[in-house]
Structure 1
Amino acid sequence: MTAAQAQERPATNTPEAGRVALKFFFNIMQAWGCSVAQQRTLLGGIGNTTYHKYRKLPEVRLPRDTMERISYLMGIHKALRILFSNSPEKAYEWVHKPNDAAPFNGQSALSYMLQGRVVDLADTRRYLDAVRG
């Protein structure tokens, strides 16, 4: 990567980037109707104290794993908004509906993602990107 390319890429390890990521995360969690326990799992199994600190939307350098998880959730949200552009509420409902396609195999996308692994978020994003075309 050239120096110019590095300058064009937004920094994701800054406290401001952490605050923006957390703001997105909590907004999408509200739209999806996720419980605190589900949110903590999606953030990588964080502790209750850390969760409540994050809820205050501080400017904080988030761990790389947390930023990666939120990045996948952003991609999932974007793909759903594109797929359901005529009906945004269906985009939020989709994560709760059973899905027979691989990798979900009859469970909802949310249930699949709640297995807690980063790869589960990545699989969900890849699935939606493939559906989107």
Structure 2
Amino acid sequence: MENVMVDHRAAAAAALAEQPDIDLSVRKQREALSAPAVRLFLNMADRWQLSVGDRQVLLGGIARQTYHNWQSGRISVLSRDQLERVSLVLGIYKALKLVFADDEGAMRWLKSPNHDVPFAGRSPLAHMLRGGMDDLFAVRRYLDAWRGMK
């Protein structure tokens, strides 16, 4: 079997925009996506009852003031990295909705220790909060594979 490298950044960008022709290196396109992406992320983070610190980590370690500016509606143009992170987190949120019959089951899975390979005894959320883009991708890939088996 051939080993294929996946362009994770392109996949995340396309997932966020729902259009494969979005180019996040183009500032105008990032500008158009930034405010909706932040609003979606904040709504999802509220549902997951994430702390401000957890939200900052998932967004790539943004400053507390930046987070509070975004929360109050003063949203600057997000970087490519930030948009990709939002895309991954929203993809995880959507996958949880598809895999679990109810929010309680999804939250229990997200926050409970998991001994499957990518998590090494950590909860999937704790794995995501390690802060790396690869950590977000690991959870997203796990859920996508799980969805494929159901």
Q: TM-score range by the shorter chain?
A: 0.7 to 0.9
Mark the runs of 5 or more structure 1 residues left unpaired by the alignment. Answer: 1-6
- The two structures have a TM-score, normalised by structure 1, of 0.85
2:121 to 80, 99, 106: 106
Q: Find out whether 1:121 has 2:136 as its counterpart.
A: yes
- Report the Cα distance in structure 2 between the residues aligned to 1:115 and 1:132, rounded to whole angstroms: 24
Give the SS at the match of 1:66. Answer: helix
The Cα shift of 1:63 comes to 0.4
Q: How does 1:39-118 map to 2 (within 5 A)?
A: 39-84=55-100, 86-118=101-133
Segment of structure 1 superposing worse, 96-105 or 14-23: 14-23
Q: Which amino acid aligns with 2:145?
A: A
Aligned length: 126
- Report the Cα distance in structure 2 between the residues aligned to 1:124 and 1:30, rounded to whole angstroms: 19
List, as ranges, runs of 4+ consecutive aligned residues in structure 1 with deviation greater than 4 Å.
none
- Report the Cα distance in structure 2 between the residues aligned to 1:15 and 1:115, rounded to whole angstroms: 28
The Cα shift of 1:16 comes to 3.6
Tell me what 1:4 maps to: none
Residues 97, 8 of structure 1: CA spacing in aligned structure 2 closer, same or farther, 3 A cutoff?
A: closer
Kindly provide the CA deviation profile for residues 98-119 of structure 1, in whole angstroms up to 9, marking residues without a partner as x: 1111201111011111111011
Query: CA RMSD for the aligned pairs?
Result: 1.9
The Cα shift of 1:60 comes to 3.2
- The two structures have a TM-score, normalised by structure 2, of 0.76
Is the Cα contact below 8 Å between 1:32 and 1:92 reproduced in 2? Answer: yes
Kindly, what percent of the aligned residue pairs are identical? 40
The Cα shift of 1:8 comes to 7.4
Kindly provide the CA deviation profile for residues 41-86 of structure 1, in whole angstroms up to 9, marking residues without a partner as x: 11000111111111123453210000000000111011100001x2
Is the Cα contact below 8 Å between 1:15 and 1:59 reproduced in 2? Answer: no
- Report the Cα distance in structure 1 between the residues aligned to 2:57 and 2:96, rounded to whole angstroms: 21
